[in-house]
Structure 1
Amino acid sequence: MIKAGIIGGAGYTAGELIRILINHKQVSIDFIYSTSNAGNFVYEVHQDLLGTVDYKFTNKINADVDVVFLCLGHGNSSKFLSENQFSKNTKIIDLSNDFRLEKDAVFQENEYIYGLPELYKTAIQKANYIANPGCFATAIQLAMIPLALNNFIEDDIHVNAVTGATGAGTSLSSTTHFTWRDNNFSHYKPFTHQHLGEIHQTVQKLQPNFSNEIHFLPNRGNFSRGIFATAYTKFDGSEEDAKSIYDEFYKDAAFTFVSENPLHLKQVVNTNKCLVHVQKLNNQLLITSCIDNLLKGASGQAVQNMNLMFGFEETEGLQLKANFF
């Protein structure tokens, strides 16, 4: 058994992480850090854990844990690590965007590997520090990677994606109140979303001659969790060519699957899966990608990375069934 610590224990991603780790055969939770909730029972915040765990939040860390998950707001992970030291044997998985870009990947002389298992599995297995991808970035990259690897992106990429309310975190704002979100729909950060940086980085690394634009329009949905992303770009090959490319690339993936049929969100919510569907319409290839933003887009992928880092079965603790009904 390895010991795990969670920093920023009161948020949605931490709640999902706890839910996964308490059922993981190889992990015990050593501490759950939250300065604002120190001394309180975890189930007082994560009420779905009432009767399941009796942990209390703490404002102290154990510097010698085997792995620590940073579930902090963007910009706060680097600050926390500057103020708190872990042992050289502690592996760190950061769920913020602090270390995802190559220009930010080295911090305190430690290099953070970009934690997209479908692309960087071998590097993750050897890594001590992981930058967990963003939720939108995960869904969109898994839609585009097979094309980029084969140098088939010859035009701009247009992406429209909608996320559930949990993507905004636990802090209330004018667009997260129930009365605003219910029966409502809107876009935000058009063509400027912060996940574009890591998406561009991956596409350009896989296809160095890519010089076109990625036009990304993110949307707020009136549901709690999930991301439904559609991307389209010019494609000269046939639909069968495209399906063959995607089938080949994802044939050994533990959690990403190519569907023969159009997708819907209920297929992935509450799972660590990404489902992908491709369809050729006129000269455009339409790629649909669906994930649960809190699992494959955050905590589930973090545990998947942990499994790879420690040599566990990649799917351990993550065999979750979708809430289909």
Structure 2
Amino acid sequence: MIKVGIVGGAGYTAGELLRILICHPEVDITCIQSTSNAGNAVSSVHTDLLGDTELSFVADLDTSVVDVIFLCMGHGKSVEFLTENTIPAHIKIVDLSHDYRLKRDGNDFIYGLPELNREEIKKSTKIANPGCFATAIQFALLPLASAKALNEVHVNAITGSTGAGQKPTATSHFSWRNSNVSVYKAFAHQHLGEIKQSLSQLQEGFSEAVNFIPVRGNFTRGIMATAYAETDLSEEEVIKLYKTYYKDHPFVIVSDVNPHLKQVVNTNKGIVYVEKHDGKVLIISMIDNLIKGASGQAVQNMNLMFGLEETTGLRLKSVGF
């Protein structure tokens, strides 16, 4: 059994992680750290887990009882934690923050998008889990980049309120968010860096604009991204390109019909749909921001790192209605 520790166990991503790992056949959750909730029952914070676990939060991570740790803290906190704490070399790390996603001197984390870096993830001990918008948008664009056929692209993507985290803010509380939509961080979202980094990995020298308009949605979870770009490829060629790229990736489905968001909510799936309009290709990509966009992807990375079947513990059913 893989002994799992979670640091920052009280937030949305940690809650989703616990829901998945409690049912994972190869995992034993041994330590859930939360400074603000130390001593409290996990089910007192993640109330849907009442009856599923008797674990309580602890103040400090005990590295003697873990094989892998998931860092589920706010951006900037993972660097701080790893600077202040010595983690034995045999313990694997999956970081769900933004802190290690961009390549730089001294950063030995592998960018954890299995549909891009599966073989590198298998050999790594440190994974930087991708961002939620970044995952959905990369699913839309990676096949074109792999064919060196990606031009300037325009992206509009809408996300549920859970993408803003558990702490209430002026734009996430119910009375503001309900029956409302708004644009934020237009052309300047923090996930653009990792998106462009991945596109350049496949299409060397890629320097075209990725024009990204993020939208706050009036629902709790899920991301739907629509992207379009000019292409000389026919619709049949583009569809074949996408199906070929994703044929060995179990969680990305290239749909033959226009999909809807409920097909991915509560699952580790990504659904992609492609069609051609005059000289432009339109790609629709959707994921659950908390699962494939965060905690499910983190478990998928753990599976790969420990030599398990990639889908272990992640065959989750969508809501349907």
User: TM exceeds 0.5?
Assistant: yes
Q: Deviations over 1:54-107 (max 9, x none)?
A: 110001211131000000100110001111122110000000010000116x34
1:150 to 125, 131, 147: 147
What's 1:10 paired with? 10
Residue 185 of structure 1 contacts residue 220 of structure 1 at CA under 8 Å; is this kept in 2?
A: yes
Displacement after TM superposition at 1:261 (Å) = 0.4
What's 1:267 paired with? 263
SS in 1 for 2:242: helix
Q: Deviations over 1:169-220 (max 9, x none)?
A: 0111110110000000001000000000000111112112322100000000
SS in 2 for 1:98: coil
2:156 to 160, 165, 168: 160
Displacement after TM superposition at 1:147 (Å) = 0.2
User: Is the counterpart of residue 55 in structure 1 residue 55 in structure 2?
Assistant: yes
Q: Report the residue type matching 1:208 in the other structure.
A: E
SS in 1 for 2:104: helix
Q: Report the residue type matching 2:117 in the other structure.
A: Y
Q: Report the residue type matching 2:115 in the other structure.
A: E
Q: Report the residue type matching 2:211 in the other structure.
A: H
Residue 72 of structure 1 contacts residue 95 of structure 1 at CA under 8 Å; is this kept in 2?
A: yes
What's 1:134 paired with? 131
What's 2:168 paired with? 172
Residue 165 of structure 1 contacts residue 224 of structure 1 at CA under 8 Å; is this kept in 2?
A: yes
Q: Deviations over 1:247-302 (max 9, x none)?
A: 10111111001000001100000000000000001111000000000000000000
Query: Separation in 2 of the partners of 1:119 and 1:241?
Result: 21
What's 1:125 paired with? 122
Query: Separation in 2 of the partners of 1:80 and 1:30?
Result: 19
What's 2:194 paired with? 198
User: Is the counterpart of residue 290 in structure 1 residue 290 in structure 2?
Assistant: no
Q: 5 Å matches for 1:236-251?
A: 236-251=232-247
Q: Report the residue type matching 2:308 in the other structure.
A: F
Q: What are the ranges of 5 or more consecutive residues in structure 2 without an aligned counterpart? A: none
SS in 2 for 1:133: coil
What's 1:91 paired with? 92
User: Is the counterpart of residue 303 in structure 1 residue 304 in structure 2?
Assistant: no
Query: Separation in 1 of the partners of 2:124 and 2:80?
Result: 22
SS in 2 for 1:102: coil
Q: Report the residue type matching 2:274 in the other structure.
A: V
Q: Report the residue type matching 1:209 in the other structure.
A: G
Structure 1 runs, 4 residues or longer, greater than 2 Å off: none
Residue 43 of structure 1 contacts residue 50 of structure 1 at CA under 8 Å; is this kept in 2?
A: yes
Q: Report the residue type matching 1:297 in the other structure.
A: G
RMSD: 0.8
Query: Separation in 2 of the partners of 1:215 and 1:174?
Result: 26
Residue 63 of structure 1 contacts residue 85 of structure 1 at CA under 8 Å; is this kept in 2?
A: no
Query: Separation in 2 of the partners of 1:186 and 1:324?
Result: 27
* CA distance 1:2–1:231, shift in 2 (3 Å): same
Q: Report the residue type matching 1:116 in the other structure.
A: L
Residue 232 of structure 1 contacts residue 284 of structure 1 at CA under 8 Å; is this kept in 2?
A: yes
Question: TM-score, length-normalised on structure 2?
Answer: 0.98
User: Is the counterpart of residue 114 in structure 1 residue 111 in structure 2?
Assistant: yes
Q: Report the residue type matching 2:166 in the other structure.
A: T
What's 1:29 paired with? 29
Query: Separation in 2 of the partners of 1:82 and 1:194?
Result: 23
Question: TM-score, length-normalised on structure 1?
Answer: 0.97
Query: Separation in 1 of the partners of 2:81 and 2:27?
Result: 23
Q: Report the residue type matching 2:83 in the other structure.
A: S
Identity %: 58
Q: What are the ranges of 5 or more consecutive residues in structure 1 without an aligned counterpart? A: none
Query: Separation in 2 of the partners of 1:127 and 1:259?
Result: 32
Q: Report the residue type matching 1:93 in the other structure.
A: V
Query: Separation in 2 of the partners of 1:17 and 1:127?
Result: 20
Query: Separation in 1 of the partners of 2:277 and 2:2?
Result: 50
Query: Separation in 2 of the partners of 1:79 and 1:258?
Result: 39
SS in 2 for 1:158: strand
